[in-house]
A and B are shown apart, each in its own frame.
Chain A
Amino acid sequence: MNPDAKTLPYEPVEQDERLGQWSGKNVPRKEDKRLLKGQGAFVDDLWMHRMGYVHFVRSPHAHARIVSIDVSKCEAVPGVYATLTGKEVGELQEPYFQMAPEPGANAKDYCMAVDKARFMGEPVVAVLAESRELARDAAELVEIEYDVLPAVVDGVATVEPDAPIIHEDVGSNVGWHGVYDYGDVDWALESADHVVRIDRLHFHRFSSAPLECSAALVNWDPGTGVCEFQTNNQMPMFAAMFLGPAIGLGIDHMQFVTQDIGGGFGIKITSYTYLTALALLSRKAGRPVKWTEYRWEHLAASAHGNERTFLDIEVPVMSDGTILGFKLRAFDDAGAYMRYEPLGAVIWSQVVPGNYKFKHIHVDYTETFTNKCPVGPNRGYSRLQHLWMIERIVDTVARELGFDPVELRKLNYIQPEDFPYEAPNGCIYDSGDYHAMLDKALELIDYPAVRRRQEEAAGSGKRIGIGIGTTLDSGTNNFGQSRLINPELPFSGNGEAAFCKLDLYGEVTVTLGTTPQGQGHETTAAQVVADILGVTPEMVHVRAGYNKANHTYVGFSGTYASQFAVTGLGAVIGAAEKLRGEMVRVGAAMLGADEDDIELAEGFVRLAGNPEAAIPFIGIAATVFSNVAELPGELADSVSLNCRHVYRPPFAVPNSEDKTGQLTLTYASQVHAAVVEVDEETGAVELLDYAAVDECGRKINPQIVEGQVHGATGHGIGAALYEAFNYDADGQLLNATFMDYHVATSLDIPMLKYDDIERPSPFTPNGAKGMGEGGGAPLSTICSAIQDALPEGAHIVYDTHNNAERVYELMRSASLGAPRGVSVTSK
């Protein structure tokens, strides 16, 4: 045992031995038929009697004081029901609870701009009218006078003393600052044979941009006082925590309903600000209100992924290639408000050393405000920035010191025999084998052959590059990590709830606390329940979507952060096992048999070895629900056939003093490999080949897993080459439509090659790991490949986004003899 261990030993948990007949198989998805026939129910498909349509008037300025608002001409238009201004919001809403400690906590965040607008697109007035067209037209009659203020858009320069202050109550543009220090990085820098220094790395701003924009149909019922939100928010209980106290709604006076969600990827977590405005507008107008974001609103003013700049990176390296760690400063640009932040300031630390054995790590981390759209969790949230930086370090060390990038990785990877592995901050990596995955990825692209092709391409005007990306998708958060950014926060652990019942006619029905957005929860939940109750997945009805009033939930409920296979299915397993236990007891009593001799199979509760002595599920249900006098009183009093279970991962509260602890339960991993061709004349990058190798523990439905890998890979490829938000110096977003924010098309993403390995997690009830976010592996991989294609003497690849222009500049830098952004000191 490691004498320095902070959290090991960590005990393996018992796994459900009944899983296996249906779990692990490619069962066709239960969701598909309705979606293929256009019969899904997305929020914009919903309609209510008397409802009005909402249009938001938004600030055209990135930073401006609101001098006056006049809605009289707008309200005079026949068919306009009501308006809501930021000034009214200031009276009707308490500022949202802030997770940051002071002074960041002093930022006042409302659902609309109250005194000043802090980003382009921030809502200032809401207009409710009888049609979408009228609301939009009438909104043009709202008169707003602005006093335009200087804007700051750079996430690092914003901390300079002369930068305009965005939140006067905070006093600076720093939302949070903290230092993470593990091992002894100064000793490592002194002791190392080489120190590689990288000036700056920049992880750019983009969004996974789900195809369905945010939307809600909200009705504040004046009779009951209950406010119903039919919405595609993907984490309703988190939304409730913010919006309920802000507008004085108790949890039981908020009803959340969702059926089908057209993608989320985290971006739909922070829509609680819009839900707040809609609730206030519904209450004021006495009507249901419906709002569906336009695409430009989604791109400009929903949420963006975190933009992060790494400065002054120092990397101690031994002569054999062993990398000891790194020291750096990080600036994370939260945009105008911290709406999920500063959680991003700690969540990266789930993967402090990446996939590597680095022991000495020092990160000075600052979360800043700028006059840009607030950030929110975006697929791979906060870890992908850090993992990309680590892969840039590894490739840069290989190139600068002349190591083979494959061998350098294999030397520094956590070794297969080291799992479970404790990272320097006490996080425990449950299982993995990065070496085997790298071999598979290289095999898929036929590595020796493409290396030959690379040589042959010399002088042809096309440069070939081969890249590798190794990343992690850590899943099942310990929310106690929030205390590393604010020790006062009352959060820890994690969990999810599920409900499983046998209904009157013997149907098995399951409800979930989650809000799936295409991940196939109905299907995988049915597979698990089928295994436990001895039926087929077709015989299990998993209710579509989420309905707070008749689904069960806990404070963590929702669909986010790569965890359903662990938390969601953990809850389903528990609920199904409880139901099975009750059915066994009732069956044993009815058959006059010992409980140990009862089995559930083929839809019957029966005596093992005697198929004649069998009761169909309807017989069990009918007895309990409508023939209960037949049962012994004690048994009748103790069964309900309605079983709830909350799955709780075995977390302790992390140590906020030294920032250590088990911050997450599972570590799915990715090794990707890519081959790019760079045009020397234009800098255009073409992806010639792409392979993704994945590991996520025991797979419940391999086809769904592969689909998630494809999707995450598509997002990463899109971000690396095509998708980037561009703000000008005044804070104007220059590309807020799909015309100019180019989301990846079928021609941009090659046919993806896929393979996997399976290393079951010892810490989860089914051996599965959460997955789906994908760790941003393509960003690392494509940057690695572009780096590999650059000529000698070129500047290193320093940005996640590399369009043709940037790649051209990198190539040109080689002939200019300009600084390369990297230096090496050797003993």
Chain B
Amino acid sequence: MADSGAVHTIELTINGEQQTHNVMSRQLLVHFIRDTLGMRGTHIGCDTGNCGACTILVDGRPMKSCMMLAAQADGRTIETIESMGDGPDGLDPLQEAFREHHGLQCGFCTPGVLLNAKTLLAENPNPSTEEIRRALKGNICRCTGYTNIVKSIEAAAAK
């Protein structure tokens, strides 16, 4: 039987707030976010790092939080879906574009897709359709067939 392991103290910045926590060695970052912090917008869709539902930003880079231990977040800056959206309707322009262009259906993959797309647009404000499709490769969506996700990101880029 695996050992539950030692406890580590980590200091990190979560959605702009500096926090200190004690975490078990084996705890996944995604479980830390969901269970310890109680922020449930980061989802889990697979066990192997393929689906991207757990995508968060670590020091501004999209990361699959099921592929990191909570202990590895020590000293890092983390952004989750809960940090997004302060427009008039509580949505930022990227989220608005997804609503306008029906870029989501069940909404389970959506937080991970949004954080990934946010990074893409920050680095490449006018991506081509092919660049968007390539950037989304790590985010599985089983509802939309991706077409409207791509259109939503194109629309957000054009805003």
Interface residues of A (CB under 8 A from B): 28-29, 31-42, 44-45, 77, 132-134, 137-138, 140-141, 208-213, 260-263, 265, 292, 294-296, 517-520, 703-704, 706-707, 710-715, 717, 737-739, 743, 745-747, 749, 751-752
Contact = CB atoms under 8 A, between A and B. Distances in A.
Interface string B125-146: 0000100111011111111111
Q: Which of A209, A704, A711, A714 has the most CB of B within 10 A?
A: A711
A141 B40 CA distance: 31
A133 B26 CA distance: 9
B41 A37 contact: yes
A211 B47 contact: no
A751 B111 CA distance: 22
B150 A746 contact: yes
Contacts of B137: 745-747
Contacts, number: 196
B146 A737 contact: no
Nearest to A210: B142
A816 B124 CA distance: 51
Q: Is the interface of A mostly helix, strand, loop or mixed?
A: loop
B89 interface: yes
Interface string B45-63: 1111011010000000000
Nearest to B83: A38
Given A137-B2, A211-B43, A263-B106, 6 more contacts: A45-B40, A210-B142, A263-B143, A518-B104, A714-B145, A746-B146
B86 to A, nearest CB: 11
Q: 4 tightest A-B contacts by CB? A: A38-B41, A35-B107, A714-B145, A262-B108
Contacts of A261: 106
Given A35-B104, A263-B106, A707-B102, A212 B43 contact: yes
B118 to A, nearest CB: 12
Interface in B26-75: 26-27, 31, 34, 39-48, 50-51, 53
A41 B143 CA distance: 18
Contacts of B95: 36-37
Nearest to A41: B40
B46 A738 contact: yes
Contacts of B2: 133, 137
A686 to B, nearest CB: 14
B45 A36 contact: no
A784 B103 CA distance: 30
A752 B149 CA distance: 12
B140 A40 contact: no
A714 B48 contact: no
Contacts of B104: 32, 35-36, 518
A262 B99 contact: no
Nearest to B101: A703
B9 interface: no
Contacts of B40: 38, 41-42, 44-45
Interface string B2-21: 10100000000000000000
9 contacts: A29-B99, A35-B107, A36-B104, A38-B110, A208-B142, A295-B45, A295-B47, A710-B146, A711-B144
Contacts of A210: 106, 108, 142
A518 B143 contact: yes
B106 A703 contact: no
Contacts of B157: none
B144 A296 contact: no
A77 B41 CA distance: 33
Contact of A42 (B43, B100, B146): B43
B81 interface: yes
Q: Which of B39, B50, B105, B108 has the most CB of A within 10 A?
A: B105
A34 B107 CA distance: 9
A710 B148 contact: yes
A31 B143 contact: no
B79 to A, nearest CB: 12
Contacts of B26: 133
A340 B95 CA distance: 39
Contacts of B150: 746, 751
Contact of B99 (A33, A208, A749): A33
Interface in B83-116: 84-85, 89-91, 95, 98-100, 102, 104-111, 114
Nearest to A40: B107
Contacts of A711: 105, 142-145
Contacts of B47: 294-296, 737
A707 B148 contact: yes
Nearest to B114: A36
A212 B104 CA distance: 14
B1 interface: yes
A42 B105 contact: no
Q: Which of A208, A262, A703 has the most CB of B within 10 A?
A: A262
A177 to B, nearest CB: 35
Given A38-B42, A745-B137, A518 B105 contact: yes
A743 B52 CA distance: 12
A211 B91 contact: no
B15 to A, nearest CB: 11
Contacts of B53: 211
Nearest to A299: B46
Contacts of A752: 145, 147
A211 B45 contact: yes
A113 B51 CA distance: 31
Contact of B98 (A32, A292, A710, A751): A32
Contacts of A37: 41, 81-82, 84-85, 90-91, 95
A339 B39 CA distance: 36
Contacts of B90: 33, 37
A36 B91 contact: yes
A739 B50 contact: yes
Q: Which of B40, B50, B132, B146 has the most CB of A within 10 A?
A: B146
A35 B105 CA distance: 9
Contacts of B146: 710, 714, 745-746, 749
Contacts of B107: 31-32, 34-36, 40, 260, 262, 518
Contacts of A133: 2, 4, 24, 26-27
Contacts of B105: 263, 518-520, 707, 711
Nearest to B139: A746
Contact of A138 (B1, B48, B148): B1
Contacts of A265: 142
Contact of B45 (A28, A40, A212, A518): A212
A140 B1 contact: yes
A762 B149 CA distance: 35
B4 A36 contact: no
